Amino acid sequence: MIALSQVEKSFDGHRVVGPISLEIAAKATMVLIGPSGCGKSTLLKLMLGLLRPDGGGIEVGGSPLEDHDLGRYRHSLGYVVQQGGLFPHMTARQNATLMAGQLGWEAGRIAARLDALLALTKLKPDLIDRYPAELSGGQRQRVGLVRALFLDPDLLLLDEPLGALDPLIRFELQNDLKEIFDSLHKTVVLVTHDMGEARFFADTIVLLKDGRIAQTGSFEELVDSPQDPFVSRFIEAQRAPA
């Protein structure tokens, strides 16, 4: 679905990503993982088109992603960040339906889509007219997911969506997200720093180190056949007691 070929990105002369070549398969879940500063979020923003590569290229559906395609391309994506990334001056309903309204959807279509997504994400309807400050972290994240799914995107990208939640809420949302991914058959790219979470969600794990790919594969492949000593150290560090 998306293919990155020798993609690079630098800031102030310092290369933070690349060169990276990577293919994201349709209707599968890929998890990007690695230590802080390894380039996970930057790589995700390159896939989103929020950043443009300094070198290499990105193809979507076999065609190069050009600057003039970015608006249309972003409408085919859903994007979720920590705590939902909601606009604080807008209600949950206004946040969730923002793009549909801007694209001219009729009120009945918007209402029907909202009802369906509230049921899917297990968000109580009586919360939808509250402002983000009146919602819990888990509720804000569910609203962010509703917003990301509203236009029925082909690709869903999530940047550490569960990182700021307490353990119980995180556990509940992990299970709900997995059910949603499995039921909708979307192409999903998820960023996390937690190997347990990566193992839970991923069809494929991409472990990054210093802006490059250290290894790609299943959790079992990373454990049983590490291609770099860093891979084993990273996994062992995740297993170590706090």
Neighbours of 148 (CB within 10 A): 24
Bridge partner list, 56:
none
**Average pLDDT of the residues of the chain:** 90
Q: The pTM is what?
A: 0.89
Span 118-147, mean pLDDT? 94
Question: Which tens digit of pLDDT belongs to each residue from 165-224?
Answer: 778 888 888 999 999 998 998 999 999 988 989 999 999 999 999 999 999 999 999 999
What domains can you pick out in the chain, each with its CATH number? 1-76+155-242 (3.40.50.300), 83-153 (no CATH)
Rounded CA-CA distance 201/174 in Å is 8
Strands 204-209 and 212-217 come out as antiparallel
Q: Which residues pair with 159 in a beta bridge?
A: 191
pLDDT of residue 170: 84
In whole angstroms, give the CA distance from residue 212 to residue 100: 37
Please name which of 135, 240, 161, 239 lies closest in space to residue 196, comparing C-alpha atoms: 239
Written as six digits, the tokens of 21 are 């070549």
pLDDT confidence bin for 101, thresholds 50/70/90: very high
pLDDT at 154: 87
DSSP code of residue 109: H
Rounded mean pLDDT of 8-33?
93
Residue 134 is predicted with a pLDDT of: 96
For residues 30 and 188, the answer to whether their CB atoms sit within 8 Å is yes
- 67 band by pLDDT with thresholds 50, 70 and 90: confident
pLDDT at 166: 78
The pLDDT-based confidence of 124 (bands split at 50, 70, 90) is: very high
Local confidence band at 163 (pLDDT 50, 70, 90 cut-offs): confident
- For 218, the token pair is 């299943």
Decide if pLDDT at 85 tops 90.
Answer: no
Q: Contact 59/46 with Cβ under 8 angstroms?
A: no
Given a cut of 50, whether residue 12 has pLDDT beyond it is: yes
pLDDT at 240: 56
User: What per-residue confidence (pLDDT) applies to 242?
Assistant: 47
Helix (H, G, I), strand (E, B) or coil at 212: strand
Residue 129 or residue 48, greater confidence: 129
List, for residues 181-192, the tens digit of each pLDDT value.
989 989 999 999
